[in-house]
Amino acid sequence: MSDLSARWGVVAVFAVVYLGMFLGGLPRLRLDRSGVAVLGAIAVIALTGMPLEDAARAVDLPTIVLLFAFMVISAQMRMGGFYAEVTRLVGVLPLSRGGLLAVLIGVAGALSAVFSNDIICLAMTPMVVRLCLRKGFDPVPFLLGLCCAANIGSAATLIGNPQNMLIGSVLQLPFGGYARAALLPVGISLLLLWLWLVAGPGAGGRRDLALAPSEETTPSGDPAFDRWQTLKGLTVALVLMAVFLFSGWDRDVAALVGAGVLLLSRRLHSADVMGLVDWPLLLLFVGLFVVNHAFAQTGLAAQAVTWLAAHDIRVSDPGSLLLAGTLLSNLVSNVPAVMLLLPHLGLDPVRAGTQLALVSTFAGNLLLVGSIANLIVSDLAAKEGVRLDWRLHARTGIPVTLASLAVVWLLV
C-alpha cells in the first residue's frame, strides 16, 4: 500500500471514528463509542503498518492509570454504601424544597469533584426519586439539579472527570493551581443552577404527587451502608488530596498506590471491585489515543491549524476555544473533543488547559446527550417511573450552560 493511500485511509478511519463518537455508535452495527474507537485503532495500525510499540507509546499511560485508580476508589465507596447513605441523610434534614435543592446540588457537586460524576449519578438517582416522592415534591427539578451539579462540580478538580484527568496529565497542570482557578467559576455556576431551579420558569413543580409505596431507603442492588469500608475509601481519598496538593509525587503513581491499598480487603472481593471499573471507557481512551496519533502523522491537522492562524483564527484564543470546546463536546462528546483540541493550545497551556477543562465539562449540561451522567439520571429515573426527556432537560440545561460558560468567559 502506498504512503498516499495509507494517509487517506487514516483520514477515512478518523472520520468514521468521530462519526461514531457523534452518533454513539455506527448504524446497523452493535458498536458503542468504545467499540468504534478500538476498531478504529486496529484499522489505522493495519493501514499504516504502525509497530505495536509505537501504538503503545501513543497512549498517555499516566491518564489511563489515574482513571483506573479512581474508578477503583469510587467502586470502594459505592460498595460501602456511601453515596446512598449520604442521600438518605440529606433526605432526613428538615428543609424546604429550595433548601433541599441547595443541599442536594452542593453535595452532588462536592462529591463529583473527588469521585466520578457518573458514579454519583448512578448511586444517587434512585434515592433522589424516592426522597422526592415521600416528601410530595416533583422529582424532575431535583434530578436536573443532580445531573447538572454533578457535571459542574466535577470541573472543580483535575480528578473530577475523565477529560480533566487527561488535560491535567498531558499538560502537567498543578493540582492546587487548577483548583484555585476553577473553584470560583464552579461555585458561581452551582449557585446559578440553584437559582434557576428555584426561581426560573416552572420552578414550583407539581405538588400533587402520591407518596412512594415503600419507605425503602436503599435502592435494590446497592449494598447497605458499611461504616468501615466507607472510612477506608474516604481516608485514601483524603490522603491522595493531600499528596496532590502538597507533594511532588506523580498523581498517577500515588493514585495507583491508593487503589492498591483498597484492594487489600478481607470483606470486598477484588473481582467485585474490578467489576465496577469502567473498562469500556478505558478502551475508549486507548483507541482514541492511537487514532489521533495516526491522524496527526498525516500532517493535516497541523496544516488546518496553520491555515486558520493565517486567517487570524487561533484555537488557543479564549473565544475560539470556548466556542470550539462547546460545539465539539456536544458533537462528539467531551473526551474526544478534548483529545482533538489538546495539541493546539498555544503558548499558554495552563490558561488554555484550565479553560478547556471548564468549558468541555460545563458544555455537557447543554443537551441530554451531552454527558453520560445526564443519560444515567434519565435512564434510572425512567425505571423509577419518572420521565426526564430531552425537552425537560433542555429547559434547564441550555440556560444553565450558557450562564456557566459566560462565567468562564468572564473569569478564566
CB-CB contact of 50 with 285 (8 Å):
no
Closest CA to 179 of 205, 199, 153: 153
Closest by CA to 204, choosing from 101, 303, 346, is: 101
The pTM for the full model equals 0.88
pLDDT per position as a tens digit, 40-86: 999 999 999 999 999 999 999 999 999 999 999 999 998 898 988 88
Q: Which amino acid is at 315?
A: V
Question: What are the φ/ψ torsions at residue 161 (nearest 5 degrees)?
Answer: -160, 165
Q: Residue for cell digits 404527587? A: 209
100-127 core/surface letters (b: 16 or more CB in 10 A; e: else): bbbbbbbbbbbbbbbbbbbbbbbbbbbb
pLDDT at residue 207, as a whole number? 47
Q: Nearest-5° angle of CA 48, CA 53, CA 59?
A: 90
pLDDT band at 288 (very low <50, low <70, confident <90, very high): very high
pLDDT in tens, 127-150: 899 889 888 899 999 999 999 999
Give the separation between CA 406 and CA 412, rounded to whole angstroms. Answer: 10
* Residue bearing cell 435494590: 220
Residue 238, all three cell numbers: 483524603
Is residue 214 pLDDT above 70, yes or no?
no
The pLDDT, as a whole number, for residue 312 is 81
Per-residue pLDDT reduced to its tens digit, 383-392: 888 999 888 9
With a cut of 50, say whether residue 217 has pLDDT above it: no
Q: Which amino acid is at 345?
A: L
Q: What is the DSSP string of 186-229?
A: HHHHHHHHHHHHHHSTTTT----PPPPS----S-TTSPPP-HHH
Smallest CA-to-CA distance from 178 within 259, 244, 243 is with 244
Q: What is the pLDDT of residue 212?
A: 44
